[in-house]
Structure 1
């Protein structure tokens, strides 16, 4: 096997194969967010663990992944993206194999926690590799269009694949399938991904401890609120501790000699807007990927596989929209029109979903809203992923990518807690306000549907707020073309954006 060159040139055809390597690896991660959720009932039955413990199969992954993203993103900047990419890829596949072979609850949860650790390495490294490989504006649009389609639609594909594997084989294949996805990027990437020298800068250890602990507390606190109660000590105690630690981290970053997350990365208006966009989308999309699935499976009687297939129009429209947005629109208008437009389109899709009834039909009630949401998601990801890594120096690409991923992860935790609470409260209120005697199954059914529609209204409001944030923070006009290193000092692109 020949040693790869230092980096593919602008005309080197290898860069498109590298794009395929990155997209397949990232697809594996996005699929895993939803594919295991469908396997949980079967895994619970096979390994004999309780409903109370079931949440830990999901939470163990979320905690390790969310808390280590910034550390792993900076690690990629320091020791090299190629190295961290393959450690993350091989480690994630190995942890998946262990999880698939699990013969106890403890073994499965440990494997899921290890998956989260290696996902925290692989996710920001994939995005930073994309940002540093494609620097030409036209090619960057095509590359981010493909990557954005994967990032936005992987959850829907995961539902379909998870349903098919669980129904046709067994739950263990929801873990084993990652070995298949890892094979291509491992075999091809070993030959093509460029080597990078280690940087001499030191790791910001106090920063790592503060932000990792803070994000751990926030993710755990929100996860606990979604499963139990906002008033419990284990909820608000962790949330307060997380907020304090993250604030301490922000203050420390302005004083540290080698900050984990240099302030210049997040204080740029465009990048800051992109990271907040990721947070909003992570929060709002929970309404689609959880409550709409609940409705289709519990009210319409869909199987897990049928639910995944029902979301294929969302996946298809997202892919087309992301590519059109990045290739045709971003070079002309920049992110400011696209993000607010995508948010408002998503809000319209959520409002359309509030029309669901106990006897609704897919074609008349669900198909159009999911296609509308797919259009909005494609525009958002087309703009946000590209913008979040634009103007970044190569030595900061990993931590900038990790900041985007952290926004998504924290948004998902907030969405889990907030929307579950809203749904439960709306359902209870409907039951008490409409009951004329002992509540019957028909009233309970209507109350649950009311809970879903209330969540969709809230999601619409979240996306409207996201549109306002995008319109205020993002700058007008196309993204600036990166300057050649020989033409300007390294710090100048940062000043130009501030």
Structure 2
């Protein structure tokens, strides 16, 4: 094969070209490259917006329901439509970012998300709020994979990559709890509308920083869109998210029995189409690697456990312990603080110890924290029954999320950065939908079982609720624990994933 350097560079400079290239690459990877760290700050801001939006709106929903006269079914759609559109369009959004340009996709996604948030905040009717939430999901599906792809291509390896993904992982793990606090403050002291308006100033700052700092990057060569694959995966993921969301009304209801199998069939057809496509939406090589596959499964399991556990812990604080929204958010804060501290500490040692140890130990520690929470009581001694569990859970999540992105995106060519980033986010999104539906069903069954043959007193009702929370925390512990053996047996000695 002819040497491309010798064909374009004079002989006297050809030998120097590789050395110059190496020196340039080394310069690019130094921690003094200030622009990359500003890029990280901008991407982190965008990721925080997407992550906290799920919980911040949940805090605002009771007031929004009263203000707009929503039914309980309409209230559910405010949450469901966002996750439905977001989950269904993620892979397409990742490919658009690859082909159209990651910077351009980031800016358009951020601007669109802000406009949708403003429309939701100004909503005067139920359908306006629901439509705005769907629009938020659409632009989030473009913004989220573009953000992670920008990190992937701008931090290609080494200690800087570890630090960048540590920040990203800390936000992924702690952003939901931040949403609870911020939502509580805004709802109590301003209005439920500000839980949506708050995204506008954040977006303005992020876009203003992105325009001069972020350089455009995009895939080259084969950039033809896989239309059949896009349709199949959007319908498949959408069916799964919708089916799981409807499971709170019972696993035997017709939407669950129709849409869950339909989603699996459509995703099976998607895999079949991708295996034969010359320009696949999601190249199967991304998912087929054993080590990377374990990271995707870990994202699914940890996403299910985290979102499911946080939902029912918030219910325990507000319904049983009678905390205000602000108090509830502050009560969850130790988990977030532990994640942030843990991510910072682990990022310093990850290059030395590799990813296998934290990805094996993290799920065990996180499961221990969730098991501790099965000891909560109606009386509720926060310092004894809750705080140790939150600290353990935060420590475990930091050990999962810091190496997770490194493993999931290791060895991904720039051409596929958006597609791979979208796949990681899709697994977490589907995991959250599965966790919420599964734990809601388990919670309902446990509450009903507790009340059988019991006199309908207030004490009995509170006891039934706590019994339901015990069940959800136990199953969340089982789910997150399962990620430990996956890492132990599938991620063997992969320090090279960090280089």
- Which residue number in structure 1 is paired with residue 137 of structure 2? 116
- Residue 387 of structure 1 and its aligned partner are, at CA, apart by 1.1
- Which residue number in structure 2 is paired with residue 186 of structure 1? 207
Structure 1: where are the runs of 5+ without partners? 1-6, 483-498
TM-score normalised by L of structure 1: 0.92
- Which residue number in structure 1 is paired with residue 290 of structure 2? 269
- Which residue number in structure 2 is paired with residue 73 of structure 1? 94
Cα distance between partner residues in 2 of 1:439 and 1:41: 26
- 1:379 paired with 2:399, answer yes
- Which residue number in structure 1 is paired with residue 237 of structure 2? 215
Structure 2: where are the runs of 5+ without partners? 1-24
- Greater mean alpha carbon deviation, residues 472-481 or residues 212-221: 472-481
Q: Secondary structure at the match of 2:223?
A: coil
TM-score normalised by L of structure 2: 0.92
Cα distance between partner residues in 1 of 2:394 and 2:192: 28
- Which residue number in structure 2 is paired with residue 225 of structure 1? 247
Conserved 8 A contact 2:109-2:140? yes
- Residue 181 of structure 1 and its aligned partner are, at CA, apart by 1.2
Cα distance between partner residues in 2 of 1:427 and 1:395: 50
- 1:472 paired with 2:489, answer yes
Distance 1:88 1:363, change over 3 A: same
- Which residue number in structure 2 is paired with residue 389 of structure 1? 409
- Which residue number in structure 2 is paired with residue 490 of structure 1? none
Pairing 1:305-344 to 2, within 5 Å after superposition: 305-328=326-349, 330-344=350-364
- Residue 348 of structure 1 and its aligned partner are, at CA, apart by 0.3
Q: Secondary structure at the match of 1:285?
A: helix
- Residue 403 of structure 1 and its aligned partner are, at CA, apart by 0.5
- Residue 244 of structure 1 and its aligned partner are, at CA, apart by 0.2
- Which residue number in structure 2 is paired with residue 407 of structure 1? 427
Q: Secondary structure at the match of 2:495?
A: coil
Instruction: Render the CA deviation track for 1:346-381: whole Å, top value 9, x for unaligned.
Output: 110011101111112211211111011000011100
Cα distance between partner residues in 1 of 2:262 and 2:219: 35
- Residue 322 of structure 1 and its aligned partner are, at CA, apart by 1.6
CA RMSD of the aligned region, Å? 1.4
- Residue 117 of structure 1 and its aligned partner are, at CA, apart by 0.4
Cα distance between partner residues in 1 of 2:265 and 2:157: 41
- Which residue number in structure 2 is paired with residue 206 of structure 1? 228
Pairing 1:229-378 to 2, within 5 Å after superposition: 229-328=250-349, 330-378=350-398
Instruction: Find 1:455's aligned residue among 447, 463, 472.
Output: 472
- Residue 476 of structure 1 and its aligned partner are, at CA, apart by 2.0
Q: Across the two proteins, how many residue pairs are aligned to each other?
A: 471
